[in-house]
Structure 1
Amino acid sequence: DTSSVVAAGYAYSHDAGAYATIVKLTRTLMIVPVCLFFALLVMRGAKKSGAGFSLRRIFPMFVLYFVVACIVNTTGILPAELSHGLGMLGKFAIVLAMSAIGLNTDLPSLVKNGARPLALGMVCWAAVAVTSLIVQHALGLL
């Protein structure tokens, strides 16, 4: 989830947020070649079987929109003020999405599922926290 990674990064510092965004978006960008690969696989299978094929139906269009947004922002087509404003709007949207996820948590459903999923979540959270502290200590940041 990109929004949680970016939010966690910015909660630590502006620089950490910038690095978190770059790393997460780089990983997210890998969706493009993976989707194209599987779309081509499906297309090849459809041609062999003689079935109809629609690239638009199997290729997620948000991937194309994401690539277009990256190209537009990277090439500098947009004025700096507009790009900055859209960046601020994006940060606000991330905070809004994280809030919506938190507000949408169904506590009775959590209780109904039992303690094991909650315990697993707590163990994972603790492992991430301890690993983060170890890395920060090793880098001399603590």
Structure 2
Amino acid sequence: MQLAPIPTLPSRLASRGIDVLPGVLLCALIAAIATVIGACVPLVGSAIPAVVIGVLVAMIRKPAARLAPGIGYAGKFVLQCAVVLLGAQLSLASIVRVGAESLPVMLSSLAVCLLGAWVIGRALGVDRDLRVLLGVGTGICGASAIAAISPVIRAKSADIAYAISTVFLFNILAVLIFPVIGHALGMSPHAFGLFAGTAVNDTSSVVAAASVFSASALGFAVVVKLVRTLMIIPISVGLAVLEGRRTGSSERLTPARILKLVPWFLIGFLAVATLTSFGAITETASGILTTVSVFLVATALAGIGLSTDLGAIRTAGLKPLLLGGILSLLVALTTLSVMAATGAL
């Protein structure tokens, strides 16, 4: 692979900045409006208004092509940066503790989801690749898992678009419904963090749902979600082996290839948490970083709202959509059942 020369890096970065700036500014403007709404109605927060405003704007008038790079940039990279900054709230010891606590709930819901995707998907007549994408998207971490798994199973672009659109639809429903369920069941912020981090399938929606429920639930929910994101690695490796056997063209799984399956923002989150653990990030700095992170989340969700493709769901039929809904329900019910059985509810 030929690398671009280092001397051209500043000009390339400047060009990229010019491309994404208009779209990012639009998302930031929506985030600012959503922040004002959240300040006036604290129960709503800034996450839901950002998504709703973004979707409404996209429905009324599709954003111009020159805004697309920045909208996509906000919906992905800005969100990942927000997650990295949330590491300032936690220490490595708390991450290990949360991982150990959430493991039974996480593994149970993932197993039920993957099994349900295979059995129910086949019964509904959903295409194999789409079953796999919906299963990993719902069971692990939404669009990130779908993006990681797609090249492994050589999924078609239409299947990828449908899976991401379906997962996103139920993410939005989770943001609206899960806080209501949490309050109805009298969950503590700690319990809701475990519930949202396990049963909601995309990082943005986990952050949004936890933010709506309680600010103190946010950090715990994110850690649970990030620990769950690590499941991309064994699932990707397993699918790569199965795909190789099915096609007879297995590609060697080197440590470097496996390492590439780990999302960079997970590494960044752990790095910031490490700095926090050693006192490099003060309490004041942690508060500032958390505030910035919340605004970045609203900016990212505005981008996701603006880029929502409602037509992709309408044109692909209802069976995969039905499968996505069933899987989301199975994950939520399994999570609640295991939490109740283990005394975590």
| Counterpart position of 1:49 | none
In the alignment, is residue 11 of structure 1 matched against residue 228 of structure 2?
A: no
Q: Partner amino acid for 1:39?
A: A
Distance 1:140 1:77 in 2: 33
In structure 2, relative to structure 1, the CA distance for the partners of 1:41 and 1:3 (3 Å cut) is closer
In the alignment, is residue 24 of structure 1 matched against residue 241 of structure 2?
A: no
Secondary structure of the residue that 1:10 maps to in structure 2? helix
Is there any run of 5+ residues in structure 1 with no aligned partner, and where? 43-57
In structure 2, relative to structure 1, the CA distance for the partners of 1:140 and 1:81 (3 Å cut) is closer
Q: Partner amino acid for 2:205?
A: S
- Give 1:92's match in structure 2, choosing from 271, 275, 295: 295
Deviation at 1:133, TM superposition (A): 5.5
Give CA-to-partner distance per residue, 1:46-97, whole Å, 9 cap, x none. xxxxxxxxxxxx6979365444322223222133222211112112222332
Q: Partner amino acid for 1:88?
A: T
Give CA-to-partner distance per residue, 1:84-139, whole Å, 9 cap, x none. 11112112222332332233111112211111222122222333444456567766
In structure 2, relative to structure 1, the CA distance for the partners of 1:60 and 1:20 (3 Å cut) is closer
Q: Kindly tell me the number of residue pairs found equivalent between the two proteins.
A: 122
Say which is worse superposed, 112-121 or 125-134, in terms of deviation: 125-134
Distance 1:22 1:116 in 2: 33
Identity of aligned residues (%): 36
The answer on whether the counterparts of 1:2 and 1:24 sit within 8 Å (CA) in structure 2 is yes
Distance 1:59 1:67 in 2: 16
The answer on whether the counterparts of 2:211 and 2:218 sit within 8 Å (CA) in structure 1 is yes
Distance 1:73 1:140 in 2: 27
Distance 2:258 2:296 in 1: 35
Secondary structure of the residue that 1:108 maps to in structure 2? helix
In structure 2, relative to structure 1, the CA distance for the partners of 1:64 and 1:17 (3 Å cut) is closer
- TM-score normalised by the chain length of structure 2: 0.29
In structure 2, relative to structure 1, the CA distance for the partners of 1:30 and 1:110 (3 Å cut) is closer
The answer on whether the counterparts of 1:5 and 1:21 sit within 8 Å (CA) in structure 2 is yes
Q: What's the C-alpha RMSD, in Å, of the aligned pairs?
A: 3.8
Distance 1:136 1:71 in 2: 29
Deviation at 1:18, TM superposition (A): 3.2
Relative CO higher for 1 or 2, CA cutoff 8 Å, sep ≥ 6?
A: 2
Q: Partner amino acid for 1:38?
A: P
- Give 1:122's match in structure 2, choosing from 325, 336, 340: 325
Deviation at 1:14, TM superposition (A): 3.5
